[in-house]
Every structure is written in structure tokens, then in C-alpha cells.
């Protein structure tokens, strides 16, 4: 009994300590925003790597999801003669939830893992130590550019994902389900509100921040050796995905609770 309580206590303490370490890491990352120097070239490279090169995976994910969503809503709606709501539900579903969440999770898979593996490898091969000896703060040089780039570029990716997702629903609805194209677009535009779009973009920014931060945190705190790099990569993706889903719930509550 006592041993069981002790192990639960140790797990809780470990969890709280981990949250404390991530919070400290986050505060340090943000503090570098207002402390020069700022590495513009690294920021630009991160923008291209995270933003531009993620477009194909974001586009394909959104396209197929939008199409599947239209089919599901049509078949589900048919049970109570509500097939006509496909444009509205596809729009609201993609913009409020599926667009930001799916893009966030795809970025966690593609970008968080890549950042964690790169930084962890740099740590294992003493490149992080080398940066310090070359008078370069690794948090400024590696972490801030990636986190800032992901935070700024994710709303753009989410906007692209939302648009392509709606287009996927539009394609399926007009080509397969017999919807009128003009009426579909009109219904979509009429139904979406400004808060839907704002919430989507804010979620994108928050998810981008989380995705890059987790990659950097686990990379910087990686253990030695190939196993350490692998563990850091895996942990970063798991932590980013869970944090994104938790943040999504909190943001949805904040934006849309009655």
C-alpha cells in the first residue's frame, strides 16, 4: 500500500518537474525574442523548411479529409433528411476543428520529429558545445528561429489546409453527390463567421508554437547515443501531439463555450 502510494507520488512529482522544465525552457525561448542578436538567416531557413516544404502533406491531408467529411455528412444526414447541410458542416468542421488539428498533427509528425532528431544529433556530436565555444547561444541560434517560424507560418498552413479541405468537400459534393457548385460555395461563405476563421488561425499559431517547442526541448535534452536521439524524437512527437490536442480543447472552450 505504502509502496504503491510512493510510486504514484514519485510519478506525480516527475510529471510536475517535467512541466516545470518545459515551462522554464519556454520562458527562456520567449525571452530571446527581445534580446539581440536575432539570427535572420536561420529564421528564414526555418520558415521555408517548416512552411513551404509542409505544403504538399498539408494539402493532401486536407483534400482527402474534406472529401471524406462530405461523404460522411451526406450519408449521416440522409438518415434524417438533412443531406443539404453538407456545405455548412464541411466548412465549420474543417475551419473550426479538422483543419487546425490535422495540420497541427501533420506538422508534429513532420517538423517536430525533424527538429528533435536534428538538434539531438547536434548534441550527441558536440555541435551544441561547439556553438557555445563559438560565442553563439544555442537557444538563440537553434530554438528561437524554429519556434518563431513555426508560430508565424502555421496560421498560413492552416488557412491553406482549411481552404483545400473545403475544396475537397466541394469536389466530392458537386462531382459525386450532385450538389450545385454555385449554391455550395454560397452556402459555405454564408455560414462561416469571422470567429470561425480567427479561431482556426489562432489554433494554428498555438499548435505551431507547441510543435516546434517540443522538437527543440526534446532535442536539447536528448541522451547520448543513437538510442538517445531515437528516444528524443519519439518523445517529442508524442508530447507535441498530446499537447496540441489538449490545447485544441482549451481553445475550443475559450472561443465557443456558450
Query: What residues make contact with another protein under the rule CB under 8 A?
Result: 37, 39, 121-122, 125-127, 129-130, 132-136
Cβ closest to another protein, residue 10 vs residue 132: 132
In the complex, the smallest distance separating the C-beta of residue 11 from another protein, rounded to whole angstroms, is 20
Least Å from the CB of residue 94 to another protein: 36
Q: Go through the chain and tell me how many residues it has.
A: 258
| Beta carbon of residue 118, minimum distance to another protein (angstroms, whole number) | 8
At closest approach, how far in Å is the CB of 149 from another protein?
15
Distance CA 223, CA 219 (A): 9
Rg (the chain; Cα; Å): 21
Instruction: Kindly state the helix (H) or strand (E) to which residue 204 belongs, with its residue range.
Output: helix 194-220
Taking the least distance from each CB to another protein, the nearer of 130 and 227 is 130
Q: Peptide bond preceding 37: is omega within 30 degrees of 0, i.e. cis? A: yes
Q: Which is nearer to another protein, 29 or 49 (by Cβ)?
A: 49
Closer of 48 and 181 to another protein (Cβ): 48
DSSP letter for each residue of 9-60: HHHHHHHHHHHHHHHHHHHHHHHGGGSS---HHHHHHHHHHHTGGGHHHHHH
Amino acid at each position: 500500500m505504502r509502496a504503491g502510494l510512493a510510486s504514484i507520488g514519485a510519478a506525480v512529482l516527475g510529471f510536475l518537474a517535467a512541466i516545470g522544465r518545459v515551462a522554464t525552457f519556454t520562458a527562456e525561448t520567449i525571452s530571446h525574442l527581445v534580446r539581440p542578436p536575432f539570427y535572420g538567416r536561420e529564421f528564414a531557413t526555418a520558415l521555408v523548411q517548416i512552411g513551404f516544404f509542409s505544403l504538399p502533406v498539408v494539402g493532401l491531408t486536407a483534400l482527402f479529409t474534406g472529401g471524406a467529411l462530405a461523404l460522411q455528412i451526406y450519408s449521416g444526414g440522409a438518415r434524417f433528411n438533412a443531406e443539404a447541410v453538407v456545405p455548412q458542416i464541411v466548412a465549420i468542421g474543417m475551419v473550426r476543428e479538422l483543419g487546425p488539428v490535422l495540420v497541427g498533427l501533420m506538422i508534429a509528425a513532420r517538423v517536430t520529429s525533424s527538429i528533435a532528431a536534428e538538434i539531438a544529433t547536434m548534441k550527441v556530436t558536440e555541435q551544441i558545445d561547439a556553438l557555445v565555444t563559438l560565442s553563439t547561444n544555442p537557444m538563440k541560434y537553434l530554438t528561437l528561429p524554429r519556434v518563431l517560424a513555426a508560430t508565424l507560418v502555421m496560421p498560413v498552413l492552416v488557412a491553406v489546409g482549411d481552404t483545400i479541405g473545403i475544396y475537397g468537400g466541394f469536389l466530392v459534393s458537386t462531382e459525386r453527390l450532385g450538389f450545385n457548385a454555385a449554391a455550395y460555395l454560397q452556402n459555405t461563405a454564408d455560414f462561416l463567421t469571422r470567429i470561425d476563421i480567427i479561431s482556426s488561425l489562432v489554433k494554428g499559431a498555438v499548435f505551431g508554437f507547441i510543435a516546434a517547442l517540443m522538437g527543440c526541448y526534446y532535442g536539447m535534452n536528448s541522451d547520448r547515443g543513437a538510442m538517445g536521439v531515437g528516444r528524443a524524437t519519439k518523445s517529442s512527437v508524442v508530447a507535441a501531439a498530446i499537447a496540441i490536442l489538449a490545447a485544441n480543447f482549451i481553445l475550443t472552450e475559450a472561443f465557443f463555450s456558450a
